[in-house]
Structure 1
Amino acid sequence: MLNLVLFGPPGAGKGTQSQKLIEKCGLIHLSTGDILRGEIAQGTTLGLEAKKLMDDGKLVPDEVVIGMISNKLDANPEAPGFIFDGFPRTVAQAEALDTLLEGKNTAISSMVALVVDDEELEKRLLERGKTSGRPDDANPEIIRKRIHEYNSKTTPVAEFYKQQNKYTSINGIGPIDQIFADIVEVVDAC
């Protein structure tokens, strides 16, 4: 089973590359934001708990998010693997994910980090903001804060996977197909 953590700041191309991996390898894309919205829409116990917290302006605790991920894994027993996008963002989340996967007799195969310099990220996000309708993609100041937040909080997660010899960085600038070829070479699967 191929379980891939696709890592990178906003605008690095994770969505684009995830879609290509899904098409080539049949992996299931697990975006924590999508999972949260889905659980809330379905009215699940975890979704209702998450909605109550979010309505109160609180962050959804890691154990709730891990529970939702567990549900998604269980709902796709025949999947050849999963792409984790936007999760884990902290070492505590990475440890919880490892524990969850171990309980399901699997593990993270690799973490691939798309490396893109801040100037290019800002340019990409501003361009995406012209069509995405997302206000956070249209404001340079917010974009810079998002990139800073990513860089400051997720570096320890990269270290966590480096210690497991599962971390590889890929140049996220260049032709989309070349970046994809580099990812496929690293994960050496599908």
Structure 2
Amino acid sequence: MIHIILFGPPGCGKGTQAKIISNKFGFIHLSTGMIFRDHITKKTNLGKLASCYINKGILVPDGITTNMLNIEIQKHFKAKGIIYDGYPRTKNQIYSLEEILNKFCLGKINIIFYFFIQKNLIINRLLKRGKISHRDDDIDIITVQRRIKEYHKKTSLIWENYKLKNSIIKLNASLSVDKISIFIEKKILNLLYS
């Protein structure tokens, strides 16, 4: 099984690319944000818990996120590949992901696509997305800025000094959706046929 991580700040286009890749290659798209929002809509206990953090623009604690993701991974043992969109976001989450992949002999993390983009572009994208999709965590400029600050403080450096840093492929997230998806597709094809 192939494991692909899409890594970068909120609003950099990870979700868009994850959908394109999953359609093209038949991989499972696991987005922690989408799963949390689904639970929030259904008013589950997990949703109620997660919304307290998400609406403030802060990360949902590792324990909650990891347990939820582990349950999702176990639904997809027969998949060709999994795309992780917005996970892992902390060093502990990296260890937890590796642990579950080892435990169930599902392979290893193959590629980490690192989306980099200027802060002002992210802010504009998130506020625009908030207007269109009515996502509570994107509507308010203060929440948006807090999310970006959280990303830089807790997430942006998690792969530094890590054994997988050679698996990181940087891409300019301000390019067009098509250019980015062609770039990603080539890298995945190289991986599949190397």
TM-score for both structures, normalised by structure 2:
0.80
1:48-63 correspondence runs (5 A): 50=46, 62-63=62-63
Q: Secondary structure at the match of 1:79?
A: coil
Alpha-carbon RMSD: 2.9
AA partner of residue 98 (structure 1): E
Please give the alpha-carbon distance, in whole angstroms, between the structure 2 residues aligned to 1:166 and 1:104: 22
AA partner of residue 179 (structure 2): Q
Q: What are the superposed Cα offsets for residues 90-113 of structure 1, whole Å, 9 maximum, x if unpaired? A: 101101111111112211111111
Contact 1:30 1:82 in 2 (8 A): yes
1:51-90 correspondence runs (5 A): 62-90=62-90
Does residue 157 in structure 1 map to residue 158 in structure 2? Answer: yes
Q: Name 2:28's counterpart in structure 1.
A: 28
Please give the alpha-carbon distance, in whole angstroms, between the structure 2 residues aligned to 1:175 and 1:93: 30
Does residue 126 in structure 1 map to residue 139 in structure 2? Answer: no
Contact 2:28 2:81 in 1 (8 A): yes
Please give the alpha-carbon distance, in whole angstroms, between the structure 1 residues aligned to 2:83 and 2:141: 29
Please give the alpha-carbon distance, in whole angstroms, between the structure 1 residues aligned to 2:52 and 2:170: 38
1:1-190 correspondence runs (5 A): 1-36=1-36, 50=46, 62-105=62-105, 106-159=107-160, 161=162, 163-187=164-188, 188-189=190-191
Cα deviation, residue 32, structure 1: 1.9
Cα deviation, residue 37, structure 1: 5.6
User: Identity of aligned pairs, percent?
Assistant: 36
TM-score for both structures, normalised by structure 1:
0.82
Contact 2:2 2:110 in 1 (8 A): yes
Which consecutive unaligned segments of at least 5 residues does structure 1 have?
A: none
Contact 1:91 1:156 in 2 (8 A): no
With over 3 angstroms needed to count, the CA separation of the structure-2 counterparts of 1:174 and 1:66, relative to structure 1, is: same
With over 3 angstroms needed to count, the CA separation of the structure-2 counterparts of 1:99 and 1:53, relative to structure 1, is: same
Contact 2:30 2:82 in 1 (8 A): yes
Number of paired residues?
186
Contact 1:136 1:143 in 2 (8 A): yes
Which consecutive unaligned segments of at least 5 residues does structure 2 have?
A: 54-58
Q: What are the superposed Cα offsets for residues 32-53 of structure 1, whole Å, 9 maximum, x if unpaired? A: 233346678899xxx75x4675
Q: Name 2:56's counterpart in structure 1.
A: none
AA partner of residue 157 (structure 1): I
Please give the alpha-carbon distance, in whole angstroms, between the structure 2 residues aligned to 1:129 and 1:38: 17
